[in-house]
Structure 1
Amino acid sequence: MLSYCAYNSSVLPAWTQNGFSICFLDTVTSSILLAGMVLGGGAQLLVYWMWAIRLEQQFQPQPKGFRIQIILSSLIIIQYIMRIGFATHYAGHLHGYNELSTIFYILSWMISLALLWTERSKTLMSYSGRGHGIVLLIFWTCALVNETLAFVSWHSPQWWWKLSNKDQKTAFGLWVCRYVLIFLLFVIGFRAPALPRRNYNLMVNEDRNEELTPHPKDNVQRSAWAGFWHKTKLIWPYIWPKGHSILQVKVIICLLILITGRVANVYVPVLYKNIVDKLTEDSEEGATINPWKLIVTYVAIKFLQGGGFGGLGLLNNLRSFLWINVQQYTAKSIMVRLFAHLHGLSLHWHLNRKTGEVLRIMDRGTTSINSILSYIIFNIAPTIADILIAIVFFVTSFNAWFGLIVFVAMTAYVAATIVITEWRTKFRREMNLKDNQTKQKAVDSLLNFETVKYYGNEDFEVDRYNTAITEYQSSEWKSLSSLCVLNMSQNIIIIIGLLVGSLLCAYLVSKHELKVGDYVLFSTYIMQLYAPLNFFGTYYRMIQQAFIDMENMIDLMEAKQDVCDDPNAKTLILTKGKVEFRDVSFHYNSKRKILKNISFTVNAGETVALVGPSGAGKSTIIRLLFRFYDLNGGDILIDGQDIKKITQSSLRKVIGVVPQDTVLFNNDIHYNIRYGSVKSSDQDVEDAAVAADIHHKIQHFPEGYATVVGERGLKLSGGEKQRVAIARTVLKSPEIVLLDEATSALDTKTERNIQASLNNVCNNRTTIVVAHRLSTIINADTILVLQDGMIVERGRHDELLEMGGIYESMWQSQLSADDEMGDQLNPDVNGSNKKDK
């Protein structure tokens, strides 16, 4: 007759012979797993069957990770079948619980396979999360906990830890195999390699021919821990202060202090227990012995430890004091590198970025790195170490039940923290995005306050800002409310663990198996352990948030430089200043070419003017020569040297630029002129101002050269800003001068005054002028007329007029416009002005 349990015993009691009853444990756990999968998995399959849509093949990730999950799940099912076969072979018969639990386990794992396949092949349009559903995650977690419970029965003869015969050795081997397979599946499950990283609604709007791979810039769906090792590798050079021996010694001392604190955390409750036991024993025997040595030792260690988890102790404060310089080194290093990296990026990148958003990213990213270091090294790592020490201590000093209580409580706490925090990650990331948008709108509006005033759109800007804040607060509410859910879950787990442990300890004290001091030891130690554990969720959230905050900064640091020096680049050797363009082609977008095989030469000391309609490519030529962009074809040479094969710093050192839209630093005039050559003396600055015909104007300002020009130089007029820019270029004293429509935004009188200053700058220098008003370039050695990215005419002013082509038409148009303006301003003046012109 087939018995259900071995030796015809009953399913109960659950605990017998110093361990769990295998019959009881297999029956209960297999039933729970199957019930959970039938109810939870069945409900999820039903939902997917009714409302999900099938993912197209191109939207499914590469199947490698999915295949691994399928193989692992299949191997687990196979090993359960093997377990039945080996049990029959060695024992000669089966017990009822063997058959029942095996069937239940196999069924539950088969449902998990069905769920795994369904989640990969179908998706819910309304679901925006990333990763496996909660049913699979809980199933894998419970399966792993089920196998881990075998450790509790380490001393039980029912189990196979002693490996005394082939039956036990086989059972142990299968358990090891099963444990490894489930553990791998559990770890891979959180990564969810079989599932898309983005929402289906986003993917269907993309090019169907684009290969679907995990999107690295997806700030909504991916886990904050994604790319953990990559992020760690990126910030590691800033963590260990290489080359700073004093800082390295401080880091080592901080780690030693950390270890000392772990030892102190063990001794404080133990000494407390000994004091209570001593006082209790003395009181019962009527003795008057005072355990003053224990009390002094206890107080001394408590002084080192400080509060419940070292918050006010000597060790913690000493460590914090020593860590200040290390933290400052890290912050300074990464801020300087990021700032230098931003200056090394191309003009194209900066034109497409929003200043307020970049500054916000820099600020949050730098703070996040310091937070990660502090929380991981001094909070998370010590807390985990304290948990492990506590489990070992309770198992050895009390019994396995206390170790199990601590282990289960801590495992449940950590699991709940991770699952809920991962769930609420998207709310935090969304809040960051809305915060960036809010700050960007504020900065953009304030920087353009003149435009706002011109059109009377103050209310419109306030409404935009109000809408941005409302959207931010909506995301903030989701983040904070989900935080309350997390805190409540953690609190429930902590209280249940404390209650169960305290009741068990009190019961053993009442049975005289433990002393009163043991209860004091348990309650003191567990509360001391729960204090940092209570903050474990906070630390985990802060680390996760720091990783989220760091993502955008890492994106900045990994932004590629479009224009880089050649590895063998040499310093430009300038002999004459001759500039050559040879068949130069360029485009910002491959669908629209800006320059088409442009060729011309500017000999040393000559002036070449570029004219033509807007969009013809005039300013692009200036930017290419300054190497803001690299060519798509052709070569640019200076004294026979290809600018792609010389360093950018040496190239830009010999070129001076006076742009159309001069932007000044929010500093004094002296600083803005000296910026052309930062090591110049005050006299050099004034001489440059004289050459730019602005020295006398500055002297009439109340504060002279100390006058602050305001944001972007808005306190100065257009002509004054241009003269400051010219003085800055004069001070730089470049061999090659580029004028990019430097006077087009000025009135005629101011233009004529500044033109004299520009002539001083360009005298005996190789000059390229982009001109809007043709009257400013009539003395140029060569005038190039551009249209549709090509040079259609070239020659001197008189020669081009005689051609009767595009240049002559432009000249006549400007003459007519000037005559009309003159007639409007001076209606009594006769037409002799035309002849004068």
Structure 2
Amino acid sequence: MIHTRRAQTALHYLTPIATAFYFLISRAVASCFLQQGADKQPKRRWRLVVVISTGVILTFVAEGIATAHETMAHPSTYLPQDYVAYLVLMLLVLGALALNLADDAKPFWHTYAGSWAIALGSEIALLVCCLVSAAASDVFAKIHLILQSLRIGLLLCAATAGAYFAWSDSRRRIMLEESDDTIDSLLASGEDSDESDENAYGFDEETSPDEVEDLRDLRKQQLRRVKKVGSWFNYLKTYKTFVPILWSSGNRLVQASLVVAILTIAAERALQVLVPMQLGALSEELAVGAGNGQMPWRSIGLWMLFAALNSQAGLPMVQEIIKVPIMHYTRQRIMTAAFSHIMNLSMDYHNQKSSGELIRVVELGSELQELLDFLCFNVLPVFTDLLVALVYVYFLFDIYMALIVFCTCLTYAWIGAKVSVWTARLLRDYNTTMVNESRIQNEAISCWAAVSQFNRTKLESERYSMAAADHRKAAIKYYLAWSFGGGAQSFAMNAGHLAATTLAAYRVAQGYAPVRKFVTFAAYWLTIEIPMYEVTYSVRKITQMLINSERLLELMTNKPSVVDAEDATELVVKHGEVNFNNVDFAYDPRKPTIKGMSFTAKPGQTIAFVGETGGGKSTTLKLLYRYFDVNAGRIYIDGQDISTVTLESLRSAFAFVPQDPVLFNYSIRENLLYARLDATDAEIEAACRAAALHDKIVSMPQSYATTVGERGVKLSGGELQRLAIARAILRDAPIVLLDEATSMIDAETEALVQSALKNLTQGRTTFVVAHRLSTIRHADCILVIKDGQIVERGSHEELLRAGGMYTSLCQKQYMEVNKEPLFNL
């Protein structure tokens, strides 16, 4: 009998734990590895199992009612706590399974079948124990055996049905996978292949920055990434990218702060228990010594000390102070790493992204820091408090008190989760109507002139009135739902508080517990209540932070498409000879940009590229700069393949004058120093004199200290071009790249710029892209490019005599200016 009773006790506690644990773990594993039930499952399956599950739950309800009746009819009857705990916990566990199944559109039957099988095995073992120990004449025992037998039969049906449905879904999934493999093999070389998306950097080509900013799009993007890596586990592993960034190695202050923060969190958890415990002890001493005039100073002092340490002026304040260096150091590391990563990504990435979007990604570094702070200093302490609360109230009173607290917490969390799901759609509707109302209002006011001209004031007023009404209805629905959910949670919390307080008072009144335990529990309840208020908020907050951090994760997991080779060497430029050897390149494989380009630029020569827009002229310079790698062929500088040298040494060999010079909102001197950081003032002035800009600069009120404004808006187009040329002269590089360097200036300024360009290109290998053909007539070799191919090459005179495409281009430009042909072709 003793062994039977021990077996029953063990089964009563282990069965609900094992059933819940299996369901949660199997569910988590299934979700992690993206396993789900088959699509379009027959509704009769769902209805059958829900009915059986409801029957199982009703047997526990009936047994609970019979137990309560037995207790009231025979007060002397002793019912073991483990038995009562078993009824309550199994009712909760199986009820949770039934509710989850009711909401599950595509059940993964393995999780349900396994849980029912565990419950079935335990029920059979308990039935055997009952048959050995129960008296035949005991009516309650007979009812218990009947209900238990019925429950075993229902659980057997549920487990069998679940196992069959799981097997059926597995067979169907295998058949679908074989069918999909056949289809994939047929489409492998077709246009539906996903291989072209490998370099899409995590975004669809058609995704605009505005759509990316929307959380729903980020959520979809997150799910796409999860499917791509195969599981949630692999997805979360991608966050290890941030581990080296966040690790505070080398910063002793932050490391010490982390240690102190951990100690304060642990101390706070202890104080959550010590404060009410000491208050209970103090109240007991006061009750015992009431009227004798003696003060329990020691107990009062300890209680005040614990309360002071637990107040906002105690350990919480210390923790907030300690968090400051940790938070800001983490933020600095994350944002610096994100910024540095953006700056090191290749041109193909930057061409796909707007600057505003990338700035937003960098700002989201603080979001990830907040996520870490929230997890470490909010979420972990909250769940620790709840776990400690369950253990503490169990030892303070008994298992019944722990069950009340557990049921209260579970009900509160379940209501919060359901309300969040319920209000999510209402919140989207509310936000949509709010945006629509604002849009109609802004458009009508900004277009007032058009509204007035067409006399449509009444129409716009009616349109706005309808939008405002939609907003009002959506707002009422959302706030009512939210208020109802909050009220339901408060009701559950108050009901649990009332039940627990009543039980505690009953224990004290019956003499089973001293008064100090009641006082302790009354003071301790806030330690249970406050964390529960934060649980639902914490889940929503973490979910939103993870979705927001998807932008930063997408950025940090991208790698530059153009990188140094493992055995890259430094580029050594002795003469400046450049050779393109049968080079092919395409931004899109379906449309080649450069096809079979071959030419050689001798040291000191000027090579000009001319042709129609979009022919590939500027792309040639980008390939030379190695913003992109060629698809075929080779590019050599003094016999060195540029793909085998370091990017830093390669780009140091160029001086670049772009069509649209980019300046920082710094002084003129600082913008010039950007070309060569160690340049002296004398060298800066010499470069500006060579660019015919020095006199203009010194005439300004602040001379070289003059701020140029954002992107150089305070300078004219000619001044911008000459400043870019001066910067290129100051760089003193052996190879010069000019991309439409005179496109923004008038004819009067062009003479000054051409003189500056002559100084810049003197003795240097130079590449010029120009639409204005008069600026390149003195080039040593002119390459005429059409559709990515060199169709003509030679000097200005040679190409004119050839009478080909170059001659046609010259003729057109001359006629545009002079309204008469250059010569008769």
Q: Smaller-chain TM-score range?
A: 0.7 to 0.9
Report what 2:581 is aligned to.
582
Name the counterpart of 1:767: 766
Q: Is the 8 A contact 1:413 1:494 kept in 2?
A: yes
Report the equivalent of 1:297.
Answer: 302
Q: 1:533 to 1:28 in 2, by over 3 A?
A: closer
Cross-structure match for 1:327 = 327
Alignment-derived partner of residue 127 in structure 1 = none
Structure 1 residue 801, shift from structure 2 partner: 1.0
CA contact (8 A) 2:606 2:781 kept: yes
Task: Using the TM superposition, give the Cα deviation of residue 108 of structure 1 relative to its aligned residue in structure 2, in angstroms.
Answer: 5.1
Match of 2:109 in 1: 70
Please state if 1:263 is matched with 2:270.
yes
- For 2:362, the equivalent position in structure 1 comes to 362
User: Which secondary structure does the structure 2 equivalent of 1:779 belong to?
Assistant: coil
> For residue 339 of structure 1, what is the aligned residue in structure 2?
339
Structure 1: segments with no counterpart, 5+ residues: 49-59, 61-65, 123-205, 307-311, 438-465, 824-830
Percentage identity across aligned positions? 31
> Does structure 1 residue 572 correspond to structure 2 residue 566?
no
1:605/1:764 contact within 8 Å kept: yes
Structure 1 pair 25/557, CA: closer, same or farther in 2 (3 Å)? Answer: closer
Q: Does structure 1 retain, via aligned residues, the 8 Å contact 2:722–2:753?
A: yes
Identify the range of structure 1 (590-599 vs 471-480) with the bigger mean alpha-carbon deviation.
471-480
Residue 776 of structure 1: aligned partner: 775
2:555 counterpart residue number: 556
Q: Does structure 2 conserve the Cα–Cα contact (< 8 Å) formed by 1:41 and 1:112? A: no
Shift of 1:99: 2.7
Work out which of the residue numbers 241, 255, 259 in structure 2 matches 1:252. 259
Supply the AA of the counterpart residue of 1:784: L
Pair 40,317 (structure 1): closer, same or farther in 2 beyond 3 Å? closer
State the 1:433 CA deviation: 12
Deviations 1:458-484 (A, max 9, x none): xxxxxxxx9xx9999999999988765
Equivalent in the alignment of 2:445: none
Other structure's SS at 1:715 match: coil
Instruction: Tell me the SS of whatever aligns to 1:784.
Output: strand
Q: Which residue of the partner structure matches residue 755 of structure 2?
A: 756
The one-letter amino acid paired with 1:105 is L
Q: Which residue matches 1:180?
A: none
Offset of residue 617 of structure 1: 0.6
Q: How many angstroms does 1:733 deviate by?
A: 1.2
C-alpha distance 717-478 of structure 1, shift in aligned 2 (>3 A)? farther
Alignment of 1:430-509 (within 5 A): 487-509=486-508
Hey, what's the Cα distance between the residues in 2 that align with 1:80 and 1:296?
52
| Shift of residue 413, structure 1, vs aligned partner | 3.1
Q: Residues of 2 paired with 1:436 and 1:334: CA distance?
A: 33
Partner Cα distance (1:584, 1:434) in 2: 55
The 1:256–1:85 alpha-carbon spacing in structure 2 relative to 1, beyond 3 Å, is: closer
Residue 400 of structure 2 corresponds to 401
Check the 8 A contact 2:241/2:556 in 1, yes or no.
Answer: no
Q: For residues 21 and 684 of structure 1, do their structure 2 counterparts lie closer, same or farther at Cα, with a shift above 3 Å needed?
A: closer
Q: Distance in 1 between matches of 2:82 and 2:395?
A: 22
**Matches for 1:521-532 after TM superposition, within 5 Å:** 521-532=520-531
Task: Provide the C-alpha distance between the structure 2 equivalents of 1:695 and 1:328, rounded to a whole number of angstroms.
Answer: 44
Distance (Å, rounded) in 1 between the aligned partners of 2:354 and 2:506: 66
Q: Which is helix-richer, 1 or 2?
A: 2
Normalising by structure 1, report the TM-score: 0.72
| Larger displacement relative to structure 2 (710-719 or 530-539) | 530-539
Give the paired residue count: 677
Deviates more, 1:296-305 or 1:591-600: 296-305
**Alpha-carbon distance between aligned partners in 2 of 1:787 and 1:545, rounded to the nearest angstrom:** 51
Write the distance in 2 (CA, Å) between the matches of 1:730 and 1:36: 75
User: Which residue of the partner structure matches residue 747 of structure 1?
Assistant: 746
Shift in Å, 1:539: 3.2
Distance (Å, rounded) in 1 between the aligned partners of 2:256 and 2:399: 41
Q: 1: CA distance between counterparts of 2:362 and 2:252?
A: 28
Shift of 1:743: 1.1
Give how far 1:554 is off. 1.1
Matched with 2:293 is 288
CA apart distance, 1:615: 1.3
Of stretches 616-625 and 25-34 in structure 1, the one that deviates more from structure 2 is: 25-34
Paired residue type of 2:355: T
Give the C-alpha shift of residue 231 in structure 1.
5.3
Partner of 1:686: 685
Q: In structure 2, the residue corresponding to 1:220 is in which secondary structure?
A: helix
Q: Please report how far the alpha carbon of residue 612 of structure 1 lies from its aligned counterpart in structure 2 after TM superposition.
A: 0.8
Give runs of aligned pairs for residues 422-821 of structure 1, distance below 5 A.
487-820=486-819
CA contact (8 A) 2:113 2:158 kept: no
Deviation, structure 1 residue 504 = 1.6
Corresponding residue to 2:153 among 97, 100, 103 = 103
Give me the whole-angstrom Cα distance separating, in 2, the residues matched to 1:432 and 1:361.
23
- Partner in structure 1 of residue 31 of structure 2: none
Secondary structure of 2:237's aligned partner: helix
Deviation at 1:208, TM superposition (A): 6.4
Contact kept, 8 Å, 1:595 with 1:617, in 2: the verdict is: yes
The separation in 2 between residues aligned to 1:476 and 1:766, in whole angstroms, is 68
Q: Give deviations 1:732-762, integer Å, cap 9, x for gaps.
A: 1111100011112322222232111111111
Please state how far the C-alpha of 1:13 moved relative to its aligned partner: 4.2
TM-score (norm 2): 0.73
**Alpha-carbon distance between aligned partners in 2 of 1:40 and 1:330, rounded to the nearest angstrom:** 39
- 8 A contact 1:357–1:436 mirrored in 2: no
Using a 3 Å threshold, how does the CA distance of structure 1 residues 484 and 256 change in structure 2: closer, same or farther?
same
CA offset digits 1:648-668 (Å, max 9, x no partner): 111111101111112221222
Give the Cα separation in 2 of the matches to 1:800 and 1:241: 65
8 A contact 2:413–2:532 mirrored in 1: no
Query: Distance between the aligned counterparts of 1:276 and 1:541, measured in 2?
Result: 40
Partner of 2:283: 276
For 2:85 and 2:307, the matched residues in 1 are separated by 45
Q: Over residues 353-372 of structure 1, what are the superposed CA-to-partner deviations in whole Å (9 max), with x where a residue is unaligned?
A: 12222222321x22222222
Aligned residue identity for 1:98: Q
Cα distance in structure 1, aligned partners of 2:477 and 2:788: 53
Contact 2:109 2:162 in 1 (8 A): no
Q: Offset at 1:555?
A: 1.0
The verdict on how the C-alpha distance between 1:558 and 1:24 changes in structure 2, with shifts beyond 3 A counting, is closer
Q: Which residue of 2 aligns with 1:315?
A: 315
C-alpha separation in 2, matches of 1:36 and 1:816: 84
Q: Over aligned residues, Cα RMSD in angstroms? A: 4.4
> 1:346·1:562 contact (CA, 8 Å) conserved in 2?
yes
Q: Which secondary structure state, in structure 2, belongs to the residue aligned with residue 573 of structure 1?
A: coil
| Cα distance change of structure 1 residues 768 and 482 upon mapping to structure 2, 3 Å threshold | farther
What is the aligned partner in structure 1 of residue 441 from structure 2? none
Question: Letter of the aligned partner of 2:152 in structure 1?
Answer: T
Bigger shift: residues 619-628 or 270-279: 270-279
**Structure 2 counterpart SS, 1:565:** coil
1:663 & 1:478 partners in 2: Cα distance? 52
Which structure 2 segments of 5+ residues have no match?
1-58, 72-76, 137-141, 173-189, 204-216, 437-463
Distance in 1, matches of 2:95 and 2:158, equals 5
Q: 2: distance between equivalents of 1:481 and 1:757?
A: 72
The secondary structure found in structure 1 opposite 2:299 is: helix
**Amino acid corresponding to residue 652 of structure 2 in structure 1:** K
Q: In the alignment, residue 579 of structure 1 is paired with which amino acid?
A: V
SS across alignment from 2:218: coil
The one-letter amino acid of 2:274's match is Y
Secondary structure in structure 2 of the residue aligned to 1:583? strand
Aligned equivalents of 2:547, 2:482: Cα separation in 1: 16
C-alpha separation in 2, matches of 1:35 and 1:254: 37
CA distance in 2, matches of 1:512, 1:814: 108
Alpha-carbon distance in structure 2 between the residues aligned to 1:354 and 1:477 = 38
Question: What is the CA deviation profile of residues 43-76 of structure 1, one whole-angstrom value per residue up to 9, with x for unaligned ones?
Answer: x79xx8xxxxxxxxxxx9xxxxx8xx43444444
CA separation of 1:382 and 1:29: change in aligned 2, threshold 3 A = closer
- Report Cα offsets for 1:753-778 as digits up to 9, x if no partner: 21111111111001000111111111
Shift of the alpha carbon at 1:318? 1.8
Contact 1:14 1:25 in 2 (8 A): no
**Structure 1 residue 380: Cα displacement:** 1.6
